Amino acid sequence: MRWIIGIIILLLLIVLPLAGYNCGNYYAIHVAGLVGIYCILCVGLNITIGYTGLLDLGFMAFCAIGAYTAALLSIKGIPFWITLPVSLFLGGFIRYLLGAPVLRLRGDYLAIVTLAFGEIVRLIANNFDWLTNGPKGLPRVGERIAEIQLFSLVFKNDLQFYYLIFFFLIGTILISYRLEHSRIGRALVAIREDELAAGLSGIDVPQIKSIAFVLSGMFGALAGAIYVHWIGFISPEMFTFWESVLLVSMIVIGGMGNIAGAILGVFLLVGIPEILRPVLGTKFVDYRMLIFGLIMIAVIIFRPEGILKSKRRTLELEERF
Amino acid sequence: MFIEQLINGLTLGSIYALFALGYTMVYGILLMINFAHSEIFMVGAYIGFLVLFSIPVFCPQLLPVYFLLYFILPMLGAGLLAVIIEKIAYKPLRHACRLSPLISAIGVSIFLQNLIMLTVGAQSKTYPEKLPIMQFDFFGVQISSLQIFIFGLSILLMIILHIFISKTKMGKAMRAVAENHIVAQLMGINVNTIISLVFLIGGGLGGIAGVLNGLYYGSIKYNMGFLPGIKAFTAAVLGGIGNIKGAMAGGFILGIAETLAAGYISSENKDIIAFVILILVLLFKPSGIFGKEVTEKI
Amino acid sequence: MEKLLQIEGIHVYYDKIAALKGVSLYLQQGEIVAMIGANGAGKTTLINTISGVLPLQKGFVRFKDEIISNLPAWKIARKSIVQIPEGRKVFPGLTVVENMELGAFPEDNKRKIREGIENMYHLFPVLKERKKQLAGTLSGGEQQMLAIARGLMAEPEILMFDEPSMGLAPILVEKVFQTIQEINQRQGITILLVEQNAKKSLQIAGRAYVLETGSIVMTDTADKLLGNDMVKKAYLGEQ
């Protein structure tokens, strides 16, 4: 039964945008693409926050690294299928360098270090004009970010990008799902519950944490690389601390530690506000952060496992009380 | 030049030090990073702005009254706000896992910033210059009366705080609660009262720091708390979080380091330098520069 | 004699595991009551429940004419029911004097506090020598003296000791029990003594209870329990 519903949703997600696009519903397609990008980010970040239990307050830094790498390379005319792996590698590598010392830290200190790192990346993007063109963003006047080309198909409009994003999102979900149910995933559960005991029972704690941390960052870079090709422009202010916090709140509200929760969080915090924007006007968009703040406090107090509970997380949380 | 930078650093440092005290006191007693403290700072600055704005004409005879309104009101307002935040957003999570109060605090932070942005406005406000500022020249070194005032007031407040904590009954109770909640209760100490007191004092000092920051830079904005907040937190960690004297020292060190870095390395990248200091301290000296041995909590 | 403290059928749970299963006992004015039992029998749980640190699910604790089992710990402490916790638990970062001052936290009369401290110096001269030192720098025995002094500063009607001899050298153990007896005789403070050292505590106690896995299995005068075969075998190490 669950399979059938899943397949129906999948088919709808493939067919509906096509229909919508033909009816001229361009805005909806754009929102759908945006939701897809955020889903990749959140499913990726969920590996750090949900599976590994580490609060990352600077995740957008890796999105920025991915985006800037892709932008800088494709301005030089290098095709997407080469810039993408380079972006992923660079994102993962920097994440690895950050993780090596940082993963030893206590939870709240780790959160602050990731925050600081996120701000450093944004400030570098903002201040190092020779590389990033500073606050004016990339591409510079007269430059152009190369289009994504797949055989003879050139990705240009929102619908095409929607499918591209959809494809990568499915991939992200599959990898994340496989990770959760693999040996590494089980080791992560053990580490989250009792790091000392996990270490004593033969789990290489630093290595397992590092794998999850790096993988998580690579999804951030992936989202950034696709996004910059889609929108064709980036600037440092897209990667502020509050963007990172928004991602965290999506995961907290949706439900830490499960993919469906992360996706639900994106729908609630990005999808619905964007859909309602034309209906309720910009006033509503202004108030949404205010409301998210309140929802975040309420969720963490009254339903710490989030709206969609992960079975394991629920048991863990109950055990603490 | 160097002396002037040093004086600028001391002025900035006294603001960081006052600000850092709130982080360190709350951490000392609840072992949580009060992320919303940066918004307490901001709200303090806005209360000061409102008070100053509502003074129609400046008359020098009423200076003590102004002073009272201008500093006591933000202090009280910010302190009470901190107490209310604790009661609503942190107290229910006292036995939850460590990250829960931090997430809740981030929620409070988002809420307050957007509340001020939506009610007062997203543009920065110019702090009205109603208090007279004089420039002094000491052997070629320029000092403004404002700098002397900021430094003097901060030192005064820190001395009062120090006496309060080391000599008074409530101060001793605060240290007892910081060491062990349960045993403190066995002494007949109401731990909830003490926690509220810590938020009141820490929040009040944060609010004053916000007013001083507004005076010093001349303008305030709804998101003005974030960057100084991170720096004040860095100062608290630098001094060994939970350690009150450490936070004071850390604030001055960071203020001086920042102005010197801005003056001699790069003023554009001074924030990057502050963040790098934060990361380095957290990675290599998480117990602060004074080490664990001397770190007494609160 | 009137019952100063009465505990009636209390049940205490950690999560779903029962730590105390219907414990009833009482203390009379001026007596020393010993509570003996093995590790994990629930002795510390019992003391913490009386102190209000742990909530109870069933039953009640009555002090004089008042039910106190629904009060928070700090209010119970202010009713002069004072606990000297297991492992001393002095405030290591505070000085010896400050620790004693905190013992008299509810007292506002500064002169009275000073007098109290002088009395403690009299009782434990070593504390006077160490008065400016941080409590964490004291030796185990000195910390136990400080913990007792801190408890006495509250002018307790009931003083509950949780394993006061734990981890102390034999000569100090002797001194601790002697002190407890003195406190009881000179100041008339009612004492509940929880100890693993059953022999010593039965020697100074008037009555005693035996606690096993959360229930009281035996109660009698201390003399009779000292002579009881089962107690001898299980707790006194005699055949």
For each of the domains in chain C, give its residue range(s) and CATH number, in order of start.
1-79+192-239 (3.40.50.300)
Chain C residues with CB inside 8 Å of B190's CB? 72, 74
Closest C-alpha among C39, C49, C42, C58 to residue C5: C49
Distance, CA of A73 to CA of A83 (rounded, Å):
6
- Answer whether residue A320 shows pLDDT above 50: no
Asked if the C-beta of B190 comes within 8 angstroms of chain A's C-beta atoms, the answer is no
Q: Are strands C190-195 and C158-162 parallel, antiparallel or unpaired?
A: parallel
Q: Within a 13 Å sphere around the CA of A182, how many CA atoms are in the beta-carbon half?
A: 10
Task: Report the residue from C74, C94, C106 with minimal CB separation from B185.
Answer: C74
Higher pLDDT among residues B142 and B10, named by residue? B10
Residue B212's pLDDT is what? 94
Nearest to B275 among A57, A119, A317 (CB): A119
User: 3-state class of C210 per DSSP?
Assistant: strand
Give the pLDDT score at A182.
92
User: By the CB < 8 Å criterion, does C157 face chain B?
Assistant: no
Q: How much of chain A, in percent, has pLDDT values that exceed 70?
A: 96
Nearest Cα of chain B lies from the Cα of C239 at a distance, in angstroms, of 40
Interface contact B290, partner C, CB < 8 A:
no
C98: nearest CA partner in chain B:
B172
| Predicted confidence (pLDDT) per residue in A223-271, tens digit | 999 999 999 999 999 999 989 999 998 998 888 888 999 999 999 888 8
Output the average pLDDT for chain B.
89
Which residues 248-277 in chain B show a CB within 8 A of chain A?
Answer: 268-269, 271-272, 275-276
Which pLDDT tens digit goes with each residue over A32-61?
Answer: 999 999 999 999 999 999 888 889 999 999
| Contact assignment for B179 to C91 by CB distance below 8 Å | yes
Q: Residue B56 pLDDT more than 80?
A: no
Tokens of A110: 């780790």
What is the pLDDT averaged over residues A272-280? 80
Range C99-110 average pLDDT: 94
Q: Does residue B24 carry a pLDDT above 70? A: yes
The pLDDT value recorded for residue A208 is 92
Burial C199-215 (b: 16+ CB within 10 A, else e): ebbbebbbbbbbbeebb
- Each residue of C120-148: pLDDT tens digit? 999 999 999 999 999 999 998 999 999 99
If one compares A315 and A98, the residue with the highest pLDDT of the two is A98
The arithmetic mean of pLDDT across residues C11-40, rounded, is 91
Name the 3-class secondary structure at B297: coil
Please tell me what DSSP assigns to residue A140: P
Interface membership of B114 toward A (CB under 8 Å)? yes
Once rounded to an integer, what is the mean pLDDT over residues A184-205? 88
Q: Which residue in chain B has the smallest CA separation from A295?
A: B107
**H-helix or E-strand spanning residue A187:** helix A183-193
List all residues 6 or more positions away from A14 whose beta carbon is below 8 Å from its beta carbon: A163, A166
Radius of gyration of chain A (CA): 20
Lookup result for tokens 């936070």:
B247
Given a cut of 90, is residue B80 above it in pLDDT?
yes
pLDDT at position A157 is 84
Q: Do B114 and A287 touch (CB under 8 A)?
A: yes
Per-residue pLDDT at B297: 44
Residue C11's CB is within 10 A of a number of other CB atoms, namely 16
Higher pLDDT, B258 or C1: B258
Residue (of A72, A55, A98, A79) closest to A218 by Cα position: A98
**Is A318 a residue whose pLDDT tops 80?**
no
pLDDT for A10 equals 86
Give Rg (Cα) of chain C. Answer: 17
Q: Does B183 touch chain C (CB under 8 A)?
A: yes
B245 touches chain C (CB under 8 A): no
Q: Is the pLDDT of residue C231 over 60?
A: yes
Neighbours of C123 (CB within 10 A): 16
Residue of B nearest to A114 (CA): B279
Please count the CA atoms within 13 angstroms of the CA of A286 that sit on its side-chain side.
11
Residue B58's pLDDT band (boundaries 50, 70, 90)? Answer: low
The greatest distance separating any two alpha carbons of chain B, rounded to the nearest whole angstrom, comes to: 60
Interface test with B, best of A252, A297, A317, A320 (most B CBs within 10 A): A297
CB burial class (10 A; 0-12, 13-18, 19+) of residue A24?
exposed
In a 3-state reduction of DSSP, which class is residue C157?
coil
The kind and range of the H/E element at B252 are helix B244-264
Q: Provide the token pair at C8.
A: 């009636």
Q: Which residue has the higher pLDDT, A196 or B87?
A: B87
Q: Is the per-residue pLDDT at B296 higher than 80?
A: no
What is the C-alpha separation between A296 and A294, in angstroms, rounded? 5
What element of type H or E holds C24?
strand C17-28
Average pLDDT over residues B6-20: 95
Q: Does residue B180 sit at the A interface (CB-CB below 8 Å)?
A: no
Tokens describing residue A221: 């870079």
- What is the predicted pLDDT for the residue at B66? 77
pLDDT band for position A311 (cuts 50, 70, 90): low
CB contact under 8 A, B88 and A241: no
Q: What is the interface size between A and B, counted as CB pairs within 8 Å?
A: 120
Contact of B172 with chain C, judged by CB distance below 8 Å, is answered with yes
A290 and B115 within 8 Å at the Cβ level: the answer is yes
In our burial notation (b when 16+ CB lie closer than 10 A, e otherwise), range A104-118 reads ebeebbbbbbbbbbb
Rounded-to-integer distance, Cα B161 and Cα B112, Å = 27
Residue A248: closest C-alpha in chain B: B103
Give pLDDT, residue C155: 93
Antiparallel, parallel or unpaired: β B125-126 and B219-220? antiparallel
ipTM of this complex prediction, to 2 decimal places: 0.91
**If contacts are CB pairs under 8 Å, which of residues 5-24 in chain B contact chain C?**
none
Query: Does the pLDDT value for residue B298 go beyond 60?
Result: no
Beta strands in C64-183, from DSSP E residues, in sequence order: 66-67, 81-84, 158-162
Chains near A (3 or more Cβ pairs under 8 Å):
B
Examine residue A139 and say whether the peptide bond preceding it is cis (omega within 30 degrees of 0). Answer: yes
Higher pLDDT, C238 or A219: A219
Mean pLDDT of A7-20: 84
Distance between CA atoms of C28 and C221, rounded to whole angstroms? 13
Q: Is A109 on the interface with B (CB under 8 A)?
A: yes
pLDDT tens profile C160-209: 999 998 888 888 899 999 999 999 999 999 999 998 888 899 999 999 99
Tell me the average pLDDT across B14-33.
Answer: 94
